[in-house]
Amino acid sequence: MNIAIKEMQINEEINDKELRVIAGDGEQLGIMSAEEALAEADKRGLDLVKIAPHATPPVCKIMDYSKYRFEQAKKEKENRKNQRVIEIKEVRLSLNIDKHDFDTKVNHARKFLTQGNKVKVTIRFRGREMAHPENGLVIMSNFSEACQEFSNVEKPAKLEGRSMMMFLAPKSTK
């Protein structure tokens, strides 16, 4: 959740009759009116921020709002940096693939899977090849067996229209 998008009510924007107020150090100050809470925040030189608007009564915290926003943005940036985006790489096979070409495609798939990406294996049927989808299943099963040591079959081979698809996911490193 982007902190710049998430709008919180602060200080004079809070117009509820009763509020549960919490100090910056987590101390419960009790239930008080919005005016009293705002006066308490002013006395401490901080902002009154509504953190739980759907609670009854709404919960407000006395804190330095600009510092809070800065720290939230910093946390978000850190989380984005640590995030790993999994891509789906595609390996295309043909129905009459040769042994060496098959091994090359297996090596490409191995490289993609060791990088942590998923692999979509497709066979496109052209012309009369549509009469023999079982040949495609044989090639797909051979491919999954060749990739068995470093991948798991996420979705088994399935014929959709003129192409057969199978998804491989990298084996979890535990």
Q: What's the pLDDT at 3?
A: 46
Partner residues linked to 91 by β-bridges: 121
Q: Average pLDDT of 16-29? A: 85
- Spatial CA neighbour of 164 closest among 139, 142, 128: 139
pLDDT in tens, 33-87: 888 888 888 888 888 888 888 888 888 888 888 888 898 889 888 888 877 777 8
For the chain, count helices (H), then strands (E). Answer: 4, 8
Q: Which residues of the chain are in CATH 3.10.20.80 domains?
A: 11-80
Q: What's the pLDDT at 102?
A: 93
Q: What's the pLDDT at 121?
A: 94
Q: What's the pLDDT at 173?
A: 57
Q: What's the pLDDT at 36?
A: 86
Q: What's the pLDDT at 10?
A: 82
- Spatial CA neighbour of 129 closest among 165, 91, 164: 164
pTM over 0.85: no
pLDDT over 70 percentage in the chain: 95
Q: What's the pLDDT at 174?
A: 46
- Is residue 155 a contact partner of residue 168, using CB atoms and an 8 Å limit? no
Q: What's the pLDDT at 4?
A: 45
- Is residue 18 a contact partner of residue 56, using CB atoms and an 8 Å limit? no
Q: What's the pLDDT at 92?
A: 94
Q: Does domain 88-170 have CATH number 2.160.10.10?
A: no
- Strand, helix or coil for residue 57: coil
Q: What's the pLDDT at 122?
A: 95
- Domain 11-80, CATH number (from 3.10.20.80, 1.10.1740.10, 3.40.50.300, 3.30.300.130): 3.10.20.80
